[in-house]
Structure 1
Amino acid sequence: MSATLLSLLAGILFGLALAAPPGPMNAVIAEESVVRGWTAGAKAGLGAASADLVFFLLALLGVVGVVERYPLLRGVMVGVGGVLMCYYAVGAARSLRTSFVAADSAPEESAGFRKAFVLALTNPYQVLFWLTVGVGLLEPGAVDVFAEAGVASLAGSVVVETGSPALVVGFFGGIGLWVTGFPAALVAARRRVETLAPVVAGLSALVLAGFGVAFLLDAAGTLGRFAG
């Protein structure tokens, strides 16, 4: 298998691994999907992915590193993100009484794209990723997967080219697979379980509120050090 194809596949797996874990972005995607349908969920996913694209471009320009050099700026960003997550948690909680019948007959319009995009831009974990791992993706080089894992007998058999277009394309392709496939899976389950919408909305509210409070505490600690 060629190094280009290996890098493409590695990028897809990496993008999926980054996008799949539970968190505020997937909470928004889940809520939009079960309440308003696949289109709304995919739009929310596209909003989160668009923020990654912005960070990717900023990383190319070296702008993302500014956040690392100015803790006060990071604290403000985290605080804004915490407030937004708490606000959206309230909106998710208000969706608890939404039925699938009402959702299916309602227009597909939603603020999911904007909501996920803004949350992602103020998500310190996403910024941290592009300050660390994301920068590594862009730097030209090579990673021997099995050698790094300590499997000497297979060293050299799977080498991924960092900084290659194939890796970057695969990475965003993996994210794209998740943000379209995850809403599709939720909508398919929605058709079988009538009570899924309020359950997902409730879980989304809890996840958003939890992250929102955590972000606010983080921001308070950072800003408190400057105030002191």
Structure 2
Amino acid sequence: MEGALQTLILAFTIGLTGALAPGPTLVATINTSLQRGWTMGPKVATGHALAEVVVFLLIVVGLASVAERHTAVVAAVGGTALILFGLMTLRGSRTATMEFSPEGASSNPYLAGALTSVANPYFWVWWLSVGSALVLAELREGILLAMIFMIGHWGADYGWYTFVSTSLHRGRNFLSEVNYRRTLALCGAFLVLFGASYLAGAWAG
């Protein structure tokens, strides 16, 4: 039970870092929410989650058997990637903004969430490095923990995109640009520290 809770919290925290980062999925959430209300946030998040279900299954089916023979390598790659993504997040937090374009919002928020995810290079780089390493680490403890990791990860996506869409729908600025940048910087620092810990574990193993 304790291990499951730790996995859930860890996945949520790391997932929040990715969700907060400015990108096409965030833009899709803002655009559709301005036009059609707060429910667009969770709908875009659902489209994003559906794309990640496919990636998750590919990792479990395609990489699990290979990773078992290269545990240290997977952990080293994952730890290094976490640190790099953390440094990138810290750097980007200095100028991060939630700018949007009111034009071109998709009529289907589910499709918008899926397409903006798979069309984003960051999505694939993250899942082929950090995401796959973390999922495989949990998978070694059992498929249940791997699934709990995904639930925590999606919790961050749903929480953030719903927060954004609700804020826009109510016409209030719940999260100022300054606080947004601070939150992003905090997530970046967490990634660096966790990545260093993850990497130290790989070397120790």
The TM-score normalised by the length of structure 2 is 0.55
Rg (Cα) greater in structure: 1
Instruction: Identify if the C-alpha distance between structure 1 residues 115 and 61 changes in structure 2 by more than 3 Å, giving closer, same or farther.
Output: same
Q: Percent identity, please.
A: 30
Amino acid at match of 1:60: V
Residue identity matched to 2:127: W
Alignment of 1:93 with 2:103, yes or no, is yes
- Per the alignment, residue 62 of structure 1 pairs with 62
**Residue matched to 1:112:** 109
Cross-structure match for 1:48: 48
Matched with 2:21 is: 21
1:93 match: secondary structure? coil
Counterpart in the other structure of 1:167: 149
> Which residue is equivalent to 2:158?
176
How far did 1:33 drift?
0.5
User: Residue deviations 1:141-179, cap 9 Å, x none?
Assistant: 6xxxxxxxxxxxxxxxxxxxxx64433321222222223
Instruction: Confirm whether residue 136 of structure 1 aligns to residue 97 of structure 2.
Output: no
1:14 CA drift (Å): 1.4
Task: Determine the structure 1 residue equivalent to 2:83.
Answer: none
Question: What is the distance in 1 between the residues matched to 2:30 and 2:169?
Answer: 9
- Is 2:122 aligned against 1:125? yes
**Structure 1 residue matching 2:21: 3-state secondary structure:** coil
The residue that corresponds to 1:201 in the other structure is: none
Measured in 2, the distance between the counterparts of 1:36 and 1:112 equals: 10
Matched residues in 2 for 1:188 and 1:4: separation? 36
Report the number of matched residues: 134
The CA distance in 1 between the partners of 2:2 and 2:126, in whole Å, is 28
1:123/1:191 CA distance change after superposition, 3 Å: closer
Corresponding residue number in structure 2 for 1:149: none
**What is the RMSD of the two structures over their aligned residues, measured on CA atoms?**
3.2
Q: What is the identity, as a one-letter code, of the residue corresponding to 2:43?
A: K
2:30 counterpart of 1:35: no
The letter for the 2-side match of 1:58 is L
Contact 1:40 1:110 in 2 (8 A): no
Checking the alignment, whether the CA contact within 8 Å between 1:42 and 1:180 is kept in structure 2 is yes
Name stretches of at least 5 consecutive residues in structure 1 with no aligned partner: 64-88, 96-108, 142-162, 193-228
Counterpart-to-counterpart distance in 1, 2:111 and 2:2: 39
Runs ≥4 in structure 1, deviation > 6 angstroms? none
Question: Cα gap change, 1:54/1:27 in structure 2, threshold over 3 Å: closer, same or farther?
Answer: same
Task: Name whichever of 129-138 and 1-10 sits farther off.
Answer: 1-10
CA distance in 2, matches of 1:115, 1:5: 31
Question: How far 1:3 sits from its partner (Å)?
Answer: 2.9
Amino acid in structure 2 at the alignment position of 1:62: G
Task: State the AA in 2 paired with 1:122.
Answer: A
Verify the 8 A CA contact 2:28 2:116 in the aligned structure 1. no
Report deviation, 1:184.
Answer: 1.2
CA contact (8 A) 2:16 2:156 kept: yes
